[in-house]
Structure 1
Amino acid sequence: MLLSSKRLTAWAVLALWVAAVLAAVPLAGRLPDVVQAKSAAELPRGAQSTEVEKLTDRFRDGRQAPAVIVYARTGPSGAGSTAGAGSTAGPGITSADRAKADADRRALAPLAEAPIGAPQASRDGRALLLAVPLHDDDHLSGNAEKVRDAVTRNVPRGLQVKVTGPAGAALDAGDAFRKVDKPLLLITVVLVAAVLLFTYRSPVLWLLPLACAAISLQVTNAVVYLLAEHAGLYVADGMSTILNALVFGIGTDYALLLLARYREELRRHEDRHRAMAVALRRAAAPVAASAATVCLGLLCLLAARMGFNFALGPISAIGIIGGLAVVMTLLPALLVVLGRWVFWPRIPRFGDAPPARGGAWDRAGRRIAARPRLVWALGAAVLAALAAGCLGVHTGLDRAHFLTTTPNSVQGERIADAHFPGDESRPLQVVSGRPVDLRGIPGIARTGTPETSTDGRLTRTAVVLTSPPDSGAAERTVERIRRAVPGVLVGGGAASELDLADAQAHDRRVVIPLVLGVVLVVLIALLRALVAPLLVMATVVGSYFAALGGSWLLFRHVFGFPAMDVQVALMGFLFMVALGVDYNLFLVSRIREEAAAAGHREGVLRGLGLTGGVISSAGLVLASTFGVLGVMPVTMFVEIGVLVSLGVLLDTFVVRPVIVPALALDSGPRFWWPGRLPRAQARPAPDREPVPRA
């Protein structure tokens, strides 16, 4: 890393990165090609529904996902009418409606994987159901779009036509990600640029962190693509969105910390290469330690049962390593090549006096030092008040609220539920080594004809339940089937929903304690203390619960969400703990450095004054990158974005600059127990004695 501070090697580093970027950009552009919109890898590992998904290739129809087309007439009671058979409460299906369904059946035959059955009429005579079997692969969303385009043409007046079922849901999800993918990245870049411009007030300097973050993202995407293409790494829809926020946020943060240290050393050294060498030596340890902490925390997801969680860990860790590599090599090379003028108009000159005391964070530190115990107690009370909102949290979004709007597939599903028993669009799939008798099990509306696998060793039976698959009644029916018929595999529909919920509960029980343990061990090793890491971890956990409670109040009363997605608590905890420890590590490591020279109390105040501005800017950047997720139409990402952004802001402006220094001041030198502060290390001498400048 120090090589990039030398005159000749700086140009060599730049040349290497130019070559790396030229190689990475084409590969990064191919990342969407390996995104798997539908894969058993996303499902819970080892669950029955996952095993059923893996066995689909052994049946004649292979991997099929039906596009269920619902044709319905709405009367005075609306589309959700529950009129019974023979009801005259509203208009019934007409001959023109039947002709439309028959015409669609013929037109869609080339897209279907198997012959399309005749439209099924509801008992009340007001709806038709047409199931078009599509191949369940990465082209499912595109084929479902063709189905939707075809069936929404030439629709008789007064007839509603909706595409639902697995294919319709895949189409809605694909539309949601495609529409916001590029705009989301653009909004991220604009927000980060705005924060950097506000921070540096320089027309040039803000470009360097932004360029480094963009290069980190390209290199990360290229590596992920290669691993997905040649090593079987699973990449799901939405992972690139999280990766964009993480890499842009963390890469910019590391750049801000290095720039702040470099600016300090430029005032002490006439030779900018020497200044960069010293800045790198002093900044590399906390930045690398931060990256290691975040990576280890993310890799705890390898203990997860959910396939999405399991794959997100290593992919995110690759992004952190990419950001670290760029900031520690490319950014120093760019800075020494460009020279001091890049800081214009506030160019740090050799001999300039350091910023005078009396800055905002220095003044805040002096006030905290007057009554530190009262300060941290009040801060803890604020966190506790927000955390009280957790008591009312509801988890578990149904499919109707997967998107922030009501998509076509959900509208179709509601119409189908009103006119047909159970959920015709998402039946259970019961797989066994022999035909099974499911008669007498409560909750089953009807069963289909058993289908034999191509090798004759398995049978599969479609089972329609009396309750919607998102309901508790449907989950209880799945449990009854699994108990009543040992040896069968029950998947699809409500079984998938049940297995997903069980896997998420497992991941919360296992991953959260594991993350806490790993991060605590890393902090103990880095700070060579026990009290400081325990206090830091306590503040981070407190800020997480405060953010969780505050976010739930926003979700319920501002956004109008009925519940929090089961994925949000784990994802929010993971990012907040890893990233929250990040900022506290920067602060505490600087306090340790300053305390070694000036004593504990003065070291706390100096550390806060020197890092307050840059860490606040870094927090704003990270909160902005995750806050951009709030514009997505996918509810889970909106909730993750709001939770992490609120948590980062709490940590940046309440926990890190107020509570942590107050705890450090109140505990005194015991903050470093059982270790002791190292002896003061002499700073590298300046190139020559500077002439003081005004």
Structure 2
Amino acid sequence: MSWILGRRSAWFVIAFWIVVAAALSPLAFHLPQAEKNDAAAFLPAEAESTRLLAAQREFPGGDAVPTVVVMTRPSGLAARDRTAATAIAAALRPFASGRILGPVLSPNGRTLVFTVPLAQSDDVARFTDEVRQMRRITAGLAPPGTQIAVTGPAGLVADTYHLFSTIESRLLLVTAGIVAVILLVVYRSPLLWLVPLASVGIADQAAAGIIDLLARHSGLTVNGQSSGILRVLVFGAGTDYALLLIARYREELTRHRDPRHAMRQAMRRAGPAIVASAGTVVIGMLCLLVGELASDRGLGPVGAIGISTALVTMTTLLPAALVLCGRRLFWPRIPHFGEHPPVTEAARHGAAARSAHAAALAAPTVPGHEDLTEFDLAEEPGRWVRVGTAIDRRPRTVWVITSLLLGGLTLGLFAMDTSLRGDQGFRRDVESVRGVDLVAADFPPGVAAPTYVIANTSAAAAVEATVRAAPGVAAVAETGRAGHQVQFLVVLRERPDSAASFAAVRDLRRRVHRIPDAAAMVGGNTAVNLDVRRAAVRDRTVVIPLVLAVVFAVLIFLLRAIIAPLLLMVTVVLSYLAALGASAVAYRWLFGFPGADPSLPLFAFIFLVALGVDYNIFLMTRVREEAQRIGARPGVLHALAVTGGVITSAGIVLAATFSALIIFPLVQLAEIGFVVAFGVLLDTLVVRSVLVPALSLDIGRRIWWPGRLARPDQAAPVEPVRSRHWPKSRQT
């Protein structure tokens, strides 16, 4: 891709991306309007709830979403309150797509409810606005002293969309701010940080615009969760690629007079690792396409498009902009030709700096490797050399102790609870949840989320009797007939989406399925969420092994070995389990979350394994490069020394961007943000920095089996000059 570095072509690349950003930014801002945040939109086509929803469309207003209005007065509802409820129901009639059910008074006379069937709409913004208008009307007509709320499935969908839409712009600003601060700290330059930040910002707008087009015109399922993840994924991964490329570019600027030549060499050296790491994430994300849930299948392309856009932008726009700006962009720490890059801070001034510079220029080159001097091999000052030296003393002890510590964190998995209910998913007070609590105080909780049974009319009597006799059912009523089918509204005794209500739905299905010629189906909000959970478990058992197999194959192809990829996969999986275990403990006792969504383990796996392998790819490709030049053991130490700082910075950037999800007032996204942020830090600071180098040093050249680097005759051409930092006890 050296053509992008020409003087004219670089300007063309920049102009092209500016045009792309200008064209796609309006679409990116409209992405929330294309989201589908109701659970029914995620269902597999063969699920019983999906088939019931299709059958409901044959009934007048059968595809409507129940909107439950609840009014209560602690001292008991007076006659004027009941009259006001009737007036409210009449005022809400224009919103109803069918008959309004109720008002129904509770046995103790304190609470009444009625249900307004609200027509479904592909325009979620319009749907939410209708719920908002209904709430404004009910609040205005409610008698003083009463509590009133609009809840039910429609209220939950509206509250979820409202939270996503209000937090979207804030998430973008917070994520961009986090990246800007980290880039300022890393580069300590008033100018340099602007180039990668602007590049990743353009990548974000381009990715969001492309996904908006696909969501509107190709049936791609996008929800608030995948939209939020897209932003942090593009910013995090894009900034990582920028850090790795700029670090190698800065290094090459000390070896080349022309910035274009330096960038070409940086792209040649760092480009394959960046492309491989991005490809691994893309392939891992696309494995979600085999999932049953539309939300899983949607997240796969969303993430893949985000990563691909970040990769293309950071390997075209960023290099072109860096080359046009030249060395002065790094001011005040401008890299000069002939200057050895890893000079310590203390040696950057005065006689020490001049001595180091002279040594770098005068040092003889290694035969056959003229770009690497003996000075490079002998002098690698800094904390990462000290880390490598410490690990090199007793590598086996280090990796055993580290593995045991990570294994200890996995014990937290016993605290993992994936039974989060829909009404528990909010981290702030919302009207739909208040309404569910008001209903549950004086009615069977199932009133807030009705269950439906559809069967053949020939078996209507038998179905009604069977449903009424089910122990988990509080009430049942026929709500209409269409053709040869009849529909019953069923109120469950237990709270919607609870374990008890799921058990009641499963029992109800077993009972009605046994009725001859009934062809009965059980659906509704609780049944929908039960089917979603079943599909989530199925997706987890199918996708996780597939991702492991695919990533393992990619590593074999990239590293041209079997042992090294196998060890990397084991370390990443161990890191994932440790992060998930530690997060489970944090969810329960630090954040006080009531549980986790059943899709969390799968999403955490996709991000932590795919992104965790990234950093090991960056390290091990450099280890392999150095092992070919100077031998296995010094190759590990040199690679750790020269990549430690930039990979750690990249990990911190990615963890910080994912931690921005914690600001979301939704439990599910906050949990994803925490587990990925914690897992990335764990992988960056422990697995990649300690465990993998220790294993590599302990196993030695055999880690590259069956490749040629594993053979003894592939030793380095010369023995490098020993540094005081590297002990002589262990041989290459």
Shorter-chain TM-score category?
over 0.9
Does 2:485 correspond to 1:485?
Answer: no
Aligned partner of 1:663 in structure 2 is: 695
Aligned partner of 1:114 in structure 2 is: 98
Find the aligned partners of 1:421 and 1:13 in 2 and give their Cα distance.
63
Aligned partner of 2:421 in structure 1 is: 398
Aligned partner of 1:443 in structure 2 is: 472
Q: Quote the offset at 1:118 in angstroms.
A: 4.2
Aligned partner of 2:572 in structure 1 is: 540
From the superposition, tell whether residues 506 and 39 of structure 1 become closer, same or farther in structure 2 (CA, over 3 Å). closer
In structure 2, the residue corresponding to 1:423 is in which secondary structure? helix
In structure 2, the residue corresponding to 1:123 is in which secondary structure? coil
Find the aligned partners of 2:641 and 2:67 in 1 and give their Cα distance.
61
- The 5 Å alignment of 1:389-468 reads 389-434=412-457, 435-436=459-460, 437-439=463-465, 440-453=469-482, 456-468=483-495
Find the aligned partners of 2:55 and 2:195 in 1 and give their Cα distance.
51
In structure 1, the residue corresponding to 2:446 is in which secondary structure? coil
Find the aligned partners of 1:540 and 1:362 in 2 and give their Cα distance.
24
Q: Quote the offset at 1:154 in angstroms.
A: 4.9
Aligned partner of 1:625 in structure 2 is: 657
Indicate which of 656, 675, 691 corresponds to 2:707. 675
Q: Which shifted more, 298-307 or 10-19?
A: 10-19
Q: Quote the offset at 1:4 in angstroms.
A: 1.3
Indicate which of 560, 566, 570 corresponds to 2:592. 560
From the superposition, tell whether residues 97 and 681 of structure 1 become closer, same or farther in structure 2 (CA, over 3 Å). farther
Aligned partner of 1:370 in structure 2 is: 393
Find the aligned partners of 2:402 and 2:39 in 1 and give their Cα distance.
46
Q: Quote the offset at 1:99 in angstroms.
A: 2.7
Aligned partner of 1:26 in structure 2 is: 26
Aligned partner of 2:536 in structure 1 is: 504
Find the aligned partners of 2:73 and 2:641 in 1 and give their Cα distance.
69
In structure 2, the residue corresponding to 1:36 is in which secondary structure? coil
In structure 2, the residue corresponding to 1:432 is in which secondary structure? strand
Q: Quote the offset at 1:534 in angstroms.
A: 0.9
Does 2:370 correspond to 1:386?
Answer: no
Find the aligned partners of 1:471 and 1:278 in 2 and give their Cα distance.
59
Q: Quote the offset at 1:158 in angstroms.
A: 2.6
- 1:495-547 deviation digits (Å, cap 9, x = unpaired): 12221221111111111111111111111111111111111111111111111
From the superposition, tell whether residues 681 and 6 of structure 1 become closer, same or farther in structure 2 (CA, over 3 Å). farther
Contact 1:7 1:273 in 2 (8 A): no
Find the aligned partners of 2:2 and 2:709 in 1 and give their Cα distance.
27
Q: Quote the offset at 1:62 in angstroms.
A: 4.0
Q: Quote the offset at 1:28 in angstroms.
A: 2.4
In structure 2, the residue corresponding to 1:358 is in which secondary structure? coil
Q: Quote the offset at 1:671 in angstroms.
A: 0.8
Q: Quote the offset at 1:373 in angstroms.
A: 0.7
What's the TM-score, normalizing by structure 2? Answer: 0.88
Query: How many pairs align?
Result: 664
Q: Quote the offset at 1:406 in angstroms.
A: 4.1
Find the aligned partners of 1:560 and 1:229 in 2 and give their Cα distance.
38
Partner amino acid, structure 2, of 1:67: T
Aligned partner of 1:289 in structure 2 is: 276
Does 2:49 correspond to 1:49?
Answer: yes
Contact 2:42 2:532 in 1 (8 A): no
From the superposition, tell whether residues 121 and 146 of structure 1 become closer, same or farther in structure 2 (CA, over 3 Å). same
Find the aligned partners of 1:450 and 1:105 in 2 and give their Cα distance.
18
From the superposition, tell whether residues 413 and 33 of structure 1 become closer, same or farther in structure 2 (CA, over 3 Å). closer
Aligned partner of 1:644 in structure 2 is: 676
Find the aligned partners of 2:161 and 2:496 in 1 and give their Cα distance.
22
Find the aligned partners of 1:497 and 1:236 in 2 and give their Cα distance.
16
Does 2:380 correspond to 1:354?
Answer: no
- The 5 Å alignment of 1:585-600 reads 585-600=617-632
- The 5 Å alignment of 1:47-126 reads 47-74=47-74, 91-126=75-110
Find the aligned partners of 1:207 and 1:504 in 2 and give their Cα distance.
41
In structure 1, the residue corresponding to 2:586 is in which secondary structure? helix
Does 2:185 correspond to 1:159?
Answer: no
Find the aligned partners of 1:483 and 1:155 in 2 and give their Cα distance.
42
In structure 1, the residue corresponding to 2:708 is in which secondary structure? coil
Find the aligned partners of 1:530 and 1:260 in 2 and give their Cα distance.
29
Contact 2:67 2:154 in 1 (8 A): yes
In structure 2, the residue corresponding to 1:58 is in which secondary structure? coil
Partner amino acid, structure 1, of 2:93: A
Find the aligned partners of 1:117 and 1:4 in 2 and give their Cα distance.
66
Contact 1:38 1:136 in 2 (8 A): no
Find the aligned partners of 1:44 and 1:291 in 2 and give their Cα distance.
29
Identity of aligned residues (%): 46
Indicate which of 309, 321, 341 corresponds to 2:296. 309
Q: Quote the offset at 1:128 in angstroms.
A: 0.9
Gaps of 5+ in 2: 344-379, 514-518, 718-732
Does 2:208 correspond to 1:179?
Answer: no
Q: Quote the offset at 1:115 in angstroms.
A: 4.2
Q: Which shifted more, 230-239 or 287-296?
A: 230-239
Aligned partner of 1:692 in structure 2 is: none
Find the aligned partners of 1:359 and 1:3 in 2 and give their Cα distance.
36
Q: Quote the offset at 1:414 in angstroms.
A: 1.9
Contact 2:31 2:208 in 1 (8 A): yes
Q: Quote the offset at 1:467 in angstroms.
A: 2.2
Q: Quote the offset at 1:106 in angstroms.
A: 2.3
Aligned partner of 2:666 in structure 1 is: 634
Contact 1:400 1:406 in 2 (8 A): no
Output the aligned Cα RMSD.
Answer: 1.8
Q: Which shifted more, 174-183 or 656-665?
A: 174-183
Find the aligned partners of 1:162 and 1:599 in 2 and give their Cα distance.
71
Find the aligned partners of 2:411 and 2:494 in 1 and give their Cα distance.
35
Does 2:498 correspond to 1:471?
Answer: yes
Find the aligned partners of 1:110 and 1:672 in 2 and give their Cα distance.
71
In structure 1, the residue corresponding to 2:140 is in which secondary structure? coil
Partner amino acid, structure 2, of 1:70: V
Partner amino acid, structure 2, of 1:170: V
Find the aligned partners of 1:41 and 1:557 in 2 and give their Cα distance.
33
Does 2:603 correspond to 1:577?
Answer: no
Find the aligned partners of 1:413 and 1:330 in 2 and give their Cα distance.
51
From the superposition, tell whether residues 2 and 53 of structure 1 become closer, same or farther in structure 2 (CA, over 3 Å). farther
Contact 2:455 2:486 in 1 (8 A): yes
Find the aligned partners of 2:392 and 2:584 in 1 and give their Cα distance.
34
Find the aligned partners of 1:593 and 1:680 in 2 and give their Cα distance.
13
In structure 1, the residue corresponding to 2:464 is in which secondary structure? coil
Q: Which shifted more, 558-567 or 245-254?
A: 558-567
- 1:440-462 deviation digits (Å, cap 9, x = unpaired): 33322222214223xx2433221
What's the TM-score, normalizing by structure 1? Answer: 0.93
Indicate which of 145, 149, 152 corresponds to 2:136. 149
Find the aligned partners of 2:464 and 2:408 in 1 and give their Cα distance.
52
Partner amino acid, structure 1, of 2:497: D
In structure 2, the residue corresponding to 1:300 is in which secondary structure? helix
- 1:219-252 deviation digits (Å, cap 9, x = unpaired): 1112112222222212222221010011110011
In structure 2, the residue corresponding to 1:449 is in which secondary structure? strand
